[in-house]
Every structure is written in C-alpha cells, then in structure tokens.
C-alpha cells in the first residue's frame, strides 16, 4: 500500500517523503510491519519517542522498538521526524542522541492538543522550544481546535507547520474541510502575508539537512 502511493508520486514530483512508522494505537503490530515503510527508502520517517494513551488505547513505543527503529533509520540514511506529544518524549530523544542512537541535527515535530498529551498552548510550545538543542529544526501540529493557534505560533517563532485532515477535520468553526489542500492553501497565503515564503522541496532539504 505504501508503494502504490509513493512510487507514482516519486515519478511525478520532487516531494520529500516522510513515511509513518506509527502503526495503529491500541493494536500491537509486529515491529517489522511498523517499519515496513523504511524499505522504500524515504528521506524522513516518523519516530514517536515514547508511549501515550491515544484513540482509546495505548500508543505503544517501548525502548526496544525505538532502538530498532533508530538503528534501521541510521543504516538507511533516513532522518527521524521525532514526534513529541509531551515533555518526556523530548527528553527520551535527547537521551538517545547522547547515546549515539540519534544523529544531530535533530528534527522535532511537536504534536500538541491530543486528549492525553501536552495542551496546544503558547506556553507549552515555548517550554518545548527552550528544551531543544540550538541546532535542531522543528515543526508544530495543533490537534482540533489547536490547529490555527499553533500554526500561527509556529510561524511567528520561526518554526515550520504541519496541516491536514489527520489532525483537524474542520476548516473553521462548524465547517468541515473537504480536502487537505484547503489547509495547505490557507497556510501558504498567511505565510506570504506575514513575509515567510514557503520553501521549495530543494530549499526544504537544505533546511532539514537532508542529503
């Protein structure tokens, strides 16, 4: 299923592929199934740096899974997109960096506003930002009603922004989104109004330190 999506897009675009290794919350998928996307050699892949209650179950990312995922990503030259749902996950990532399991510069994605994780507030984002290494890059996700506030905070603070229907299904209060492109088009428009031009894939590779 990954291949059916990735291969046609690779033929037609110069996009950066960041494929998921997340599995499904509440289902203990075998490690090899969770990491199967790495066989397609994406430039980046998600790296959920700890376990958390999510979606009615436990989103399980125990140390042995993280070690194996980090090792395979290092061998394949895949940059981990370190997903941080709370402060402990950032601390875990820094510990793995100190042990040589994750290579600098790190890239963090702050996932704020899940029911059991860190709230989508400016104070939370500032706290996580201050814990990062100075050479790290970062982006932010606001879940549900935190979508626009966190997008604006990310833009103001010089970070990067993830939008899409996985995180938020409403384009505005009471109005369902019909496609992901609505969110992309809006954030591009706002970024340009603010004076932050959106990066091309080539520029994004430079920013993220991708080879």
| Domains annotated on the chain, with CATH | 2-7+16-208 (3.20.20.70)
Give 54-83 pLDDT, tens digit per residue. Answer: 877 889 999 999 999 999 999 999 999 999
Helix (H) or strand (E) segment spanning residue 14: none
Give 5-38 pLDDT, tens digit per residue. Answer: 999 999 999 999 999 998 765 567 888 999 999 9
Give 134-145 pLDDT, tens digit per residue. Answer: 999 999 999 999
pLDDT band at 39, cuts 50/70/90? very high
pLDDT band at 86, cuts 50/70/90? very high
CB 203 within 8 A of CB 160: no
- Quote the tokens at residue 18: 């960041």
pLDDT at 25: 59
pLDDT at 26: 56
Give 171-194 pLDDT, tens digit per residue. Answer: 999 999 999 999 999 999 999 999
Average pLDDT over residues 95-124: 97
Question: Smallest Cα–Cα separation from 137: which of 159, 120, 154, 155?
Answer: 159
124 to each of 10, 87, 94, 145, 146, how far by Cα in Å? Answer: 36, 9, 18, 15, 12
- Quote the tokens at residue 193: 């109004």
Q: What's the whole-number average pLDDT of the chain?
A: 95
pLDDT band at 211, cuts 50/70/90? confident
């Amino acid at each position: 299923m990954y291949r059916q999506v990735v291969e046609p897009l690779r033929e037609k675009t110069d996009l950066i592929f960041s494929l998921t290794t997340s599995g499904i919350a509440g289902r203990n998928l075998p490690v090899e199934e969770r990491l199967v996307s790495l066989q397609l050699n994406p430039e980046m892949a998600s790296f959920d740096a700890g376990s958390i209650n999510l979606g009615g179950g436990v989103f399980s990312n125990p140390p042995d899974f993280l070690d194996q995922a980090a090792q395979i990503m290092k061998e394949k030259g895949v940059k981990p997109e370190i997903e941080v749902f709370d402060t402990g996950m950032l601390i875990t990532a820094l510990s793995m960096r100190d042990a040589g399991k994750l290579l600098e510069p790190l890239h963090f994605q702050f996932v704020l506003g899940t029911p059991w994780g860190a709230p989508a507030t400016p104070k939370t984002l500032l706290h996580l930002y201050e814990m990062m290494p100075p050479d790290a890059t970062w982006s932010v996700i606001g879940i549900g009603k935190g979508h626009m506030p966190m997008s604006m905070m990310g833009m103001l603070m010089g970070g990067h922004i993830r939008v899409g229907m996985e995180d938020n299904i409403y384009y505005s209060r009471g109005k369902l989104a019909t496609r992901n492109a609505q969110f992309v088009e809006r954030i591009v428009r706002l970024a340009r109004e603010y004076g932050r031009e959106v990066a091309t894939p080539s520029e994004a590779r430079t920013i993220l330190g991708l080879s």
